[in-house]
Amino acid sequence: MNDFHLSLDDVMLHAVSIGLDVHPTIEMRDERTRLNMFFEDVRERWPDMYEQLTTGESEFKISKAFRAKPGVQGLALPVDTFVLTKRGPVFVFALRLPDPVGSTNLEGQYRDIFTEVCKTLWSRLPGHKVLRVGLIREVLFLTGETDCTFLVSGQSDWRSARLMGGQRLFQYQDDKCNIRLEFSPGKLGKVTQLPVGKKVEEPVGFGLKVKLDVNNTELRELGDADIEEVLERAVCFWPDELLEYLSRVK
C-alpha cells in the first residue's frame, strides 16, 4: 500500500468532545434553576451552537440542529452539543458532518468557545473544582475502494507505543497525559427510507475511523493553565502528525 494517502479532503465526520470530571458532583435536582439560566446564557450568546434544551429527572443536555449548506435541500441533523453527566459536563463540537449538513466552521475557534462556555457555566455554578479534563477527537475518513484492514494487521509503532491485542490500538502515558489512539477500518453504507416503509442500505465504499483520547494522569485540582496544557497536548496530534503516520503505514 505504498500509494496509500489521506488528506483533510477525505474527512467526512470530525467531532471533538471535551469532558470535565468535577468535585463536588453537579446535582441536577438541586441546580435545575441555575442550569436553566446557563442554558439561556449560552443560547443567547452562541445560537449557532446551542438551541434546544432537554431535561429530565437525571438528564440535562443542549442540542443544535445543524442544517444543510445554503442552497442545499436536506433534513437537519440534531447533535448534542452540551451534556451533563454524573462525572461532569461534556462539551461537543461537531466540526464537520456528513452531507448535506456540511461544515460548522469551528475548527479554528472551538477551544476559545470552550473556555468562554466554561466561564459561563461556573459563573452560574460556583464552587466546583475540575479534577480531570479529557479531549476525545473522532475523525471518519472516506477511503473509497481502499479497504483499510491492513492498518490493523501489521506491526508498527506510534511514539514508542506497542501494538495491543492484534488491534491498531495505542495506549501509553507521557509525563502529564494518558493517551489512547485507536484505528477502526470498516465498510460504509447509506440507508434510504422508501415511501412504502422499507429501508434500503447501499454500500458507499470503505472508511477509516480514528479516535484519539487524551486526559491528565494526575487527579488533582486543575487551574486554567493545566487545562490548556492538556488540550494543547491533544491538539498537537492533529492534523499533521496523524496524517503523516497514516500515509506511511504499509
Report the pLDDT averaged over residues 98-109.
78
Q: Are 29 and 120 part of one and the same domain? A: yes
Distance of CA 110 to the CA centre of its chain: 11
Report the pLDDT averaged over residues 114-129.
97
Please state, for a pLDDT cut of 70, what percent of the chain lies above it.
Answer: 83
Identify whether 132 is part of a domain: no
Q: Is 60 a residue whose pLDDT tops 60? A: yes
Identify whether 233 is part of a domain: yes
At residue 1 the predicted structure's pLDDT band, cuts being 50, 70 and 90, is: very low
Q: Are 111 and 169 part of one and the same domain? A: no
81 vs 68 pLDDT, higher one = 81
Cβ neighbours around 246 below 10 Å, total: 19
Q: What are the grid coordinates assigned to 49, written together? A: 451552537
Q: Which of 127, 161, 182 is the last residue of a domain?
A: 127
Please state, for a pLDDT cut of 90, what percent of the chain lies above it.
Answer: 48
Look at residue 166 in the predicted model and tell me its pLDDT.
Answer: 41
- pLDDT tens string 192-217: 666 666 666 777 788 888 999 999 99
At residue 11 the predicted structure's pLDDT band, cuts being 50, 70 and 90, is: confident
Show the domain range for 161.
1-13+139-250
Identify whether 18 is part of a domain: no
Q: Are 9 and 45 part of one and the same domain? A: no
Q: Are 80 and 106 part of one and the same domain? A: yes
Q: Are 122 and 39 part of one and the same domain? A: yes
Identify whether 134 is part of a domain: no
Q: Are 198 and 100 part of one and the same domain? A: no
Q: Are 114 and 154 part of one and the same domain? A: no
Identify whether 59 is part of a domain: yes
Instruction: State if pTM tops 0.75.
Output: yes
Q: Are 90 and 154 part of one and the same domain? A: no
At residue 235 the predicted structure's pLDDT band, cuts being 50, 70 and 90, is: confident
How far apart, in Å, are the Cα atoms of 57 and each of 85, 126, 238? 12, 22, 38
**Overall number of domains in the chain:** 2
At residue 242 the predicted structure's pLDDT band, cuts being 50, 70 and 90, is: confident
Identify whether 220 is part of a domain: yes
38 vs 250 pLDDT, higher one = 38
Identify whether 247 is part of a domain: yes
Look at residue 73 in the predicted model and tell me its pLDDT.
Answer: 58
Q: Are 146 and 187 part of one and the same domain? A: yes
Q: Is 108 a residue whose pLDDT tops 60? A: yes
Q: Are 145 and 250 part of one and the same domain? A: yes
- For the chain, give the secondary structure using H, E and C: CCCCCCCHHHEEEEEEEEEEEEECCCCCCCCHHHHHHHHHHHHHHCCCCCCEEEEECCEEEEEEEECCCCCCCCCCEEEEEEEECCCCEEEEEEEEECCCCEECCCCCCHHHHHHHHHHHHHHHCCCCEEEEEEEEEEEEEEEECCCHHHHHCCCCCECCECCECCECEEEEECCCEEEEEEEEEEEEEEEEECCCCCEEEEEEEEEEEEEEEEEECCCCCCCHHHHHHHHHHHHCCCCHHHHHHHHHCC
Q: Which of 99, 127, 155 is the last residue of a domain?
A: 127
Q: Which of 64, 98, 127 is the last residue of a domain?
A: 127
Look at residue 148 in the predicted model and tell me its pLDDT.
Answer: 79
- pLDDT tens string 129-184: 999 999 999 999 988 888 877 766 655 555 555 555 445 778 888 888 999 988 88
Q: Are 84 and 172 part of one and the same domain? A: no
Q: Is 98 a residue whose pLDDT tops 70? A: yes
Look at residue 116 in the predicted model and tell me its pLDDT.
Answer: 97
Report the pLDDT averaged over residues 124-130.
96
Identify whether 133 is part of a domain: no
Q: Are 64 and 148 part of one and the same domain? A: no
